[in-house]
Structure 1
Amino acid sequence: MSITLPTTPAPVPPSGQTSGLSSSLDLAAERAVDRGLHLEGEVAAHPERFRVLTGERPTGPLHLGHYFGTVANRVRLQQLGVEVLLVVADYQVITDREVAGDVRGAVHEIVLDYLASGLDPARTTVFQHSAVPALNQLMLPFLSLVTVAELDRNPTVKAELAASGAASMSGLLLTYPVHQAADILFCHANLVPVGKDQLPHLEMTRLVARRFNQRYGAGYFPEPDGLLSAAPTVLGTDGRKMSKSGRNAIALRDDADATARAIRSARTDSEREITYEPDRRPEVANLLLLTALSTGRSPQEIAAEVGGRGAGQLKQLTTDALVAHLAPVRARRAELAADPAVVAETLAAGAARANALADATLADVRRLMAMA
């Protein structure tokens, strides 16, 4: 990118010291919130100034939480004219699990979900992590820029370890934030959509970029900003956050009958009157939210409409709204799935673009480090 966002460099700590990341983490959320409105205005006014890198691990099919949150935002940025690169991080599946599972099948299903949701491979680069060797080679010099203590302090890594149920942390999980730094910096992305829980990973990327620039080549890597997601958290049918691994999700690929069954089984409460109170009545609020996202109305308005007719009426309203809203997406997905070449062609085109960027970046890095 020819234009990057201004940042304030911090000094490289002397050998043996570990200052830098922890203080940055303390300020990350505050900075992200403060920058949010400004960034949205900049993106709308000058989309050509930004390159976005985002993605996810192929650990299962995309669900409504993805669709109404991250995928919708990616489509929005694409429509604004921002260059978006979307990594399907297949290597990262094994960061917190011993068996990768059917990664190839998961990648295929996720790409179908992306395309059905409106991501256009002519405007958005979709690629597999494992298909870009030069990207992964960047991790070696990047690992030399951070300390074990800094890696060990990352709260997001600790949360991921706890969620996985593993008895101990693998080296791959410990260095996961540096893997993500390589994912972001190989293409010189300067904007990364994130939730608050991912800010520590982004702060590590900023730290790696800053230290590389100070040590080898001032200004080569941008220090990417986080575009803090305003997407609401969608709960699963059991009242917990909707998750691919939690067996509580409504998959984007599900049909209308499966969606109706899931909504009928969704947890609510014993109060007859329907009100929108996310803190006190999260399960009822979640159904109102899904209905609102599907219809463009406010949750409060829908709650007032249902009133004293209870959770059964609300569930029917939510089912009808979701099925109607998702019908064109699911029809498009079925059409795409009937073409055996569409996913392979999308990934091949994305890999070609990503490899061109990664090869050029790796060559520059080796030159700046006096290795070539």
Structure 2
Amino acid sequence: MRLDVPTLFLMTVAVTFMVGALFLLSWSQTRRERALAIWGIAHLAGSVASCMLGLRGAIPDPVSIGLGNAVMIGAYGLIWSGVRAFEGRRPLLGWALAGSVVWLGACLAPAFYASLPARIIVASIIAGSYCALGAWTVWRGRGEPLVSRYPALILLGTYAVIYWVRIPLAAFIPPPAFAPGSDSPWFAILCFVGTLYSIAIAFVLMALTKERAEREQRLAAETDALTGIASRRAFVARAEACLAIRPAALLLLDLDHFKAINDRYGHSVGDAVLTAFCHAASPMLPRSAVFGRLGGEEFACLLPETGPVLAARFAESVRDSVGRIAHPDYPDLRVGVSIGIAAAGAGGALDDLLRRADGALYGAKHSGRDQVMVDETPIPEAAVVLAA
């Protein structure tokens, strides 16, 4: 099959331009994600560069070869800069455009400008380096689990390799000179690969921003906005999944006289007490614990592989730590917590566990508050995990 070079050239310019416009449209709807704006400008610059390169012979060579390649190199630098912005780093626009400056400076040397292999080598080094930097930046951000992160890494890394492979080829196998108006297969391949890259990188980068937005929404739904621990919905889901396969103990915690704290000191102090409670309780719990806010001043903690005796020890540690909470502006403020404990074997129902822990909590409240009380319902012996 023979590829029509003028058609491929027009397709490359049009596709790259449309991709840039789509990036800017997405940015206009999500202004806080400035990476979309940078990627949009990069693709619009790429379409302009493709047009200048494609018009070689119809426009002066310094514009087509010199300026066209400078704009194209700058587009790759902007893509890397956009990746940095996406990962929460400074875009470094100066460094993104430094490659274009180096290219234009080199073109001022007559010997370099007259050598096609030299131009290919320098352009490939710079463009490949920007792609490699983009891949490295994506890799450094892997702590944020996004499905499209590794396709983006592979795509940018592969394109860097493609550019760098051109370096020894240009050095040892001098490429034939060609003009876009000719039927050169090299230009056809260049247009075709450029179009595929524009589509692929746009798809992957758009997917990254979409996945981040969805992840942030999911985390917001699963996190209590005030305390930063699991919301009721998230706690129930995680606790049920854990209890389905492992025995566990449940701590139901309720701050004592919290309404009186709100009434006397104000809701801002009440909110500070809730936050301080979480900060005090969390270090006392094992890393495997599922800790969440059920609502108001009521919290719950599921301790996997833990029996009533060990759970009571954890609860006493929490109670003691909470009792040391102090507010510098209110030295007479006292915070206490009542805790009810119930245990169940693997496969137990969370609703039943909550009901029994609530009964124990009621007993702790009724007995004077600031206490730990354990539900005495027998547990199948095989499911009990004894305290060490």
Q: One fold, TM greater than 0.5? A: no
Structure with larger Rg: 2
Structure (1 or 2) with the greater helix fraction? 2
Point out which structure has higher relative CO (alpha carbons under 8 A, 6+ apart): 1
Structure 2-normalised TM-score? 0.24
Structure 1-normalised TM-score? 0.25
